[in-house]
Amino acid sequence: MTSLFLQSTWVIPLYGVGGALFSLPWAMGLMRRTGQRPAVYFNIFLMAVAFLHCMLAFASLQELPPYAFAFDWLNIADLEIAVRFEASSISLGAAALTSFMLLLAQIYGMGYMEKDFSLARFFGLLSFFGGTLSGLALSDSMVFSYALLEMLSLSTYLMVGFWYAQPLVVTAARDAFLIKRVGDVFLLMGVVALTCYAPGLTFSDLANWAVYKPLPPGIATLLALSLIAGPLGSCAQFPLNLWLDEAMEGPSPASILRNSVVVGAGAYLLIKLQPALMLSPVTSEILILIGSITVVGSSLVAIAQTDIKRVLTHSTSAFFGLVFIAVGMQRIDIALFLMLAHGLGKALMFMSCGSVIMTTNCQDITELGGIWSRMPVTTLSFLIGGLGLSGVFPIGMFWTFHRWMAGPSPWWLIAVLVFANGLSLLNVTRVFRLVFLGKPQAKTRRTPEAPWPMVVPMVVLMVVTLLLPAIAPTWLLSNMDSAEAILPMALIFASGLLGCAVGVYMPLSRSMSRPLSQNYRFVQDLLAYDFYLEKVYSKTVVALVAVSSNIAAWVDRYIIDGLVNLVGMVTLFGGQSLRYSASGQSQAYVVTILLGVTALLLMITTWSDLGGEILRAIQILQAT
C-alpha cells in the first residue's frame, strides 16, 4: 500500500488544481443558494489529503533511492520535452511543508476572510498556490519548472490584486508582477540556453553534466547570471526587492504563504540549479555579494518601517539573503534548513500580525499597544516566531547557525550573521514593545482574541516551531562538539542580547515618531523609503524605457507608416495614371506584354552572363 502512495506522487499537485477548479462555480456567482462555504470546506479537505499523501509517500521512501517518473509531452526530431517528477526525501519534504503551510493558511483564512464576499475566489487562489508550489517542489524538468514559476507569478498577481476595487491594490499588483517579470525573462534565456547545450537535461542529471561537459568561462558566466536572475526576483533580493513590499497589499493569509513558502520557491530553484552555477568561477562571489547587500540593506530598512507587515517583509528579504550566501558557499544543507526555520517562524509572526490587523483594523505600529493581556495567544505566537528567527538556544535557527559556524568560517560571514541577528532581534523587540506592551491606545482598547479558526493554526505552528530541533534531520546536530563554533556562536548570541537590550531601552515615543532633527529625519526617510530605490528606478530604467518607447512610436508613425503610405500613394497614383492609357484594343495589350517579356528575358540573360563572368574571374584569381 505504501508503494502506491509513492508511485502516485505526481497526483499531489493536482489536489490544489482540483480545489481551484471546484471553486469556480461559487467564485463566478453560479452557485448562490448554498453560499460560498462549500468551496472553503472542500479546499481545506483537499489540502489535508495532499499533506497526508506527502507524508505517506515520504515514509515509504525511507532507505530507498529517489523514484522518478515522466510523461512525454512533445517529441519532434531532436526536441524532447517531458513533464518529469522526482520523489526524493528533499522534494517530498518540500511538498509536505508546502501542503502543511497551505492547510494552516486555509484554516486561518476561514476566520480572517469570514465576512468577505469573494471567499470562494480567495480559497481557489490559495489552492492554486498550493498546486503550483507542490509541482515546483517535485518537478525534475527545467522547462516544466519554469512554467510552474510563471504560474506562481500569475497567482501572486491575482492574490496581491484580490481587492481590486482599491486603486492602490491594483498599482501594487501591477508593480509586483512587472518587477518579477524582469528576473523571469532572463531565467527563460538561461533555461533555453541550458537545454540547447544539453538537450533533455533534468535537475537530477545536472551535476553529472556539469562535471563532464564544462562550458567556456565567458558562456558559463553569462549562463549563470541569467539563471540567478529568476531566483533573484522571486526571493526579493537586491536590486529586485521592491515587489515583496508592494505585495503586502494582499490579504494576510496570502502574506503568510508569500513570506514563508512562496518566496522560498525561488531559493529552492536556485539550489537545484547550483551545479550549473558553479561552472563559472565568479558565480559564488556574485551570490555572496548579492546576499550580503540584501542582508545589510533590508535589515536596516526594516527597523525604519511603521507598517507591521512591511517590517516583517523586509526581514524576509534579509533572511533569504543568508540563503544566497549559503548557496554561494556551496552549503546546500545550511540553505535548506535556513528556509525551513525561517518559513515556520515568519509564518507564525504573520499569523499574529494578521490577528492584530483583523481585530484593530490598523497596521501602523505607532497606533497600537497594550494588546498582550487581551490577546495572549497572538502575543505568544509573535514572541515564539521572533525567537524562531534568531540564534537563541534551543530554537531551530540556533542549530542552523551552529552548523554553519562548525569549521573554519571567514570573518566577513561571522560579521554578516552577527549584524543580521542583532538587527533582527532589535526589530522584533521594537515591534513587540509598540504593539503588545505599553498602555492600550484608542484602537486597542477593545481587542478580543481572534476566533478559533485563527487560533488553532497559531497554536499548531507554535508547537512545531518549538519542536523543530527534535523533528529536524539528525545530520543537523551531528557536529555539536565542534570547538571552532564556540567563539562565533558567542558573538552571535551577544549580538542578539545587544539587539534585545537596545530594543528594550531605546525611546519609542509615539508622539515623536518623526524626529525633529533634520539629520535624523533624513536617515529615517532614507531607510523608510528603501534607500529611494524606487525613485532611482523611475529616473533611470523607467525613464529610459519611456524615452525609447517615444522614439519607437515616432519612428513607427513618421518613418514606417510614412513609407507604407508613400507606397500606397505611388500605387494609387500609378493606377490612376495607367487607366488613361487603356485604349481597349487587344493588339495594343499583346504588344505591351511582348515588350515586357522581352525586356525581362534580356535582363535575365544579361545578369546571367554577368554572373558567369564574375565566377570565371574568381576562379582565375584563385588559380593564380
Predicted local distance difference test score (pLDDT) of residue 107: 92
Domain boundary among 96, 113, 140: 140
Cβ-contact 385, 395 below 8 angstroms: no
Q: How confident is the model at residue 4 (pLDDT cuts 50, 70, 90)?
A: confident
Domain boundary among 88, 116, 140: 140
Residue 85 structural domain: 1-140
DSSP bridge partners of 75: 80
Predicted local distance difference test score (pLDDT) of residue 170: 85
Cβ-contact 247, 176 below 8 angstroms: yes
Residue 584 backbone dihedrals phi, psi, to 5 degrees: 90, 0
Residue 70 backbone dihedrals phi, psi, to 5 degrees: -140, 155
Q: How confident is the model at residue 482 (pLDDT cuts 50, 70, 90)?
A: low
Say yes or no to pLDDT of 477 above 70.
no
Q: How confident is the model at residue 600 (pLDDT cuts 50, 70, 90)?
A: confident
Whose CA is closest to 364, among 307, 309, 313?
A: 307
Cβ-contact 491, 414 below 8 angstroms: yes
Whose CA is closest to 320, among 254, 241, 381?
A: 241
Most confident of 74-83, 101-110, 208-217, 251-260: 101-110
Residue owning grid cell 533582527: 424
Exposure string for 325-363, b = 16+ CB within 10 A, e = fewer: bbbbbebeebbbbbbbbbbbbbbbbbbbbbbbbbbbebb
Q: How confident is the model at residue 284 (pLDDT cuts 50, 70, 90)?
A: confident
126: buried, middle or exposed (CB in 10 Å: 19+, 13-18, 0-12)?
buried
CA-CA distance, 366 to 359, in Å (whole number)?
16
Predicted local distance difference test score (pLDDT) of residue 79: 65
Predicted local distance difference test score (pLDDT) of residue 375: 87
Q: How confident is the model at residue 71 (pLDDT cuts 50, 70, 90)?
A: confident
Of residues 447 and 346, the one with the higher pLDDT is 346
CA-CA distance, 524 to 514, in Å (whole number)?
8
Q: How confident is the model at residue 183 (pLDDT cuts 50, 70, 90)?
A: confident
Say yes or no to pLDDT of 475 above 70.
no
Measured at the CA of 245, the angle between CA 239 and CA 250, to 5 degrees, comes to 140
pLDDT digits (tens, 9 = 90+) for 423-454: 888 888 888 888 888 788 877 778 888 888 88
User: How does DSSP classify residue 448?
Assistant: P
52: buried, middle or exposed (CB in 10 Å: 19+, 13-18, 0-12)?
middle
Q: How many domains does the chain have?
A: 2
SS3 string, 275-325, reads HHHCCCCCHHHHHHHHHHHHHHHHHHHHCCCCEHHHHHHHHHHHHHHHHHH
Mean local confidence (pLDDT), 66-84: 74
**For residue 65, is the peptide bond before it cis, meaning its omega torsion is within 30 degrees of 0?**
no
Mean local confidence (pLDDT), 598-611: 74
Q: Tell whether 551 is covered by a domain.
A: no
Domain boundary among 140, 171, 190: 140
Whose CA is closest to 424, among 395, 459, 403?
A: 395
CA-CA distance, 465 to 462, in Å (whole number)?
5
Mean local confidence (pLDDT), 74-87: 74
Predicted local distance difference test score (pLDDT) of residue 45: 92
Q: Tell whether 111 is covered by a domain.
A: yes
CA 69 to chain centre: 27
SS3 string, 105-172, reads HHHHHHHHCCCCCCHHHHHHHHHHHHHHHHHHHHECEHHHHHHHHHHHHHHHHHHHCCCCCCHHHHHH
Residue 71 backbone dihedrals phi, psi, to 5 degrees: -125, 115
Q: Tell whether 12 is covered by a domain.
A: yes
Q: How confident is the model at residue 522 (pLDDT cuts 50, 70, 90)?
A: confident
Mean local confidence (pLDDT), 116-126: 87
DSSP of 191-244 = HHHHHHHSTT-BHHHHHHHHHHS---HHHHHHHHHHHHHHHHHHTT-TTS-HHH
pLDDT digits (tens, 9 = 90+) for 287-313: 999 999 999 988 888 888 888 888 888
Predicted local distance difference test score (pLDDT) of residue 108: 92
Q: Tell whether 79 is covered by a domain.
A: yes
Predicted local distance difference test score (pLDDT) of residue 311: 87
Q: How confident is the model at residue 509 (pLDDT cuts 50, 70, 90)?
A: low
Classify residue 450 as left (phi > 0), alpha (psi -120 to 50) or beta. beta
Say yes or no to pLDDT of 512 above 60.
no
104: buried, middle or exposed (CB in 10 Å: 19+, 13-18, 0-12)?
buried
DSSP bridge partners of 79: 76
pLDDT digits (tens, 9 = 90+) for 16-44: 888 888 888 888 877 777 778 888 899 99
Q: How confident is the model at residue 624 (pLDDT cuts 50, 70, 90)?
A: low
Q: How confident is the model at residue 177 (pLDDT cuts 50, 70, 90)?
A: confident
Predicted local distance difference test score (pLDDT) of residue 363: 85
Q: Which 3 state secondary structure label does DSSP give 76?
A: strand
Q: Tell whether 131 is covered by a domain.
A: yes
Q: Tell whether 450 is covered by a domain.
A: no
Predicted local distance difference test score (pLDDT) of residue 67: 80
**For residue 448, is the peptide bond before it cis, meaning its omega torsion is within 30 degrees of 0?**
no
Mean local confidence (pLDDT), 188-192: 86
DSSP bridge partners of 141: 202
pLDDT digits (tens, 9 = 90+) for 528-553: 888 888 888 888 888 888 888 899 88
Average predicted confidence (pLDDT) for the chain: 82
Measured at the CA of 145, the angle between CA 276 and CA 157, to 5 degrees, comes to 120
Residue 464, C-beta contacts closer than 8 angstroms, at least 6 positions apart: 344, 471
Q: How confident is the model at residue 52 (pLDDT cuts 50, 70, 90)?
A: very high
pLDDT digits (tens, 9 = 90+) for 355-412: 988 888 888 888 888 888 888 898 999 999 888 888 777 777 888 888 888 777 788 8
CA-CA distance, 300 to 235, in Å (whole number)?
18
Say yes or no to pLDDT of 85 above 70.
yes
DSSP bridge partners of 72: 82
Q: Tell whether 568 is covered by a domain.
A: no
Q: In whole angstroms, how far apart are CA 155 and each of 13, 140, 261, 464?
A: 15, 22, 14, 28
Predicted local distance difference test score (pLDDT) of residue 496: 84
Q: In whole angstroms, how far apart are CA 205 and each of 70, 145, 188, 570?
A: 14, 15, 19, 61
Q: Tell whether 114 is covered by a domain.
A: yes
